[in-house]
Amino acid sequence: MHLGETLLVLGALVIFSMATLHLNDSKLENDIKIMETEFKTTAIGIAQSFIEEAQALEFDEVLHDTSFTGFVGTVPGGFTAPASLGPETGETFFDDVDDFNGYSANINTPRADYNVNITVSYADSATITPGFANKSFLKVMVINIKSDFFRDSLKLDYVHSFR
């Protein structure tokens, strides 16, 4: 074998090696994206289960205790104060939407662990912006989910309106 042929073989090996490394890198990146999508889909399912639970609850504690026709006070003036949103003292189950305020839990599934944090606040009726300092006919439930298995956190908002 001459020097020219040896250089051609070495050049071919270098090109083949680089192509193989690039292919493996692409496959690995694709596998990571597929797995991340799976974990995010599960996280969305977890968040959706909290939203579905909230949909079945009353808008405010005062409406759970009495019917709206017997409700004493002004609407929305009689609703829970923004600083008091969250479960009532001694409450063991949620009976209105704002009871989710301050909820935090670690949810373990067979494939991954998820950290869930929920806040509930009044929302401005015009802009639907959460964190409104006054009582209104809208409450926004913000669900944040983090996991070591996807790069960023997942955030879902649910707007619950007074009916």
pLDDT of residue 99: 93
Region 31-36 average pLDDT: 90
Q: What is the mean pLDDT of the chain?
A: 88
From 142, 144, 157, 162, select the one nearest 80 (Cα to Cα).
Answer: 162
Q: With bands split at pLDDT 50, 70 and 90, how would you rate the model's confidence at 72?
A: low
Q: Percent of the chain having pLDDT more than 70?
A: 92
Check pLDDT > 90 for residue 113.
yes
pLDDT of residue 126: 86
H runs (alpha helix) in the chain: 3-55, 61-65
Q: With bands split at pLDDT 50, 70 and 90, how would you rate the model's confidence at 74?
A: low
**Domain extent listing, the chain:** 3-161
Give the distance from CA 147 to its chain's centroid: 11
pLDDT of residue 129: 84
pLDDT of residue 60: 87
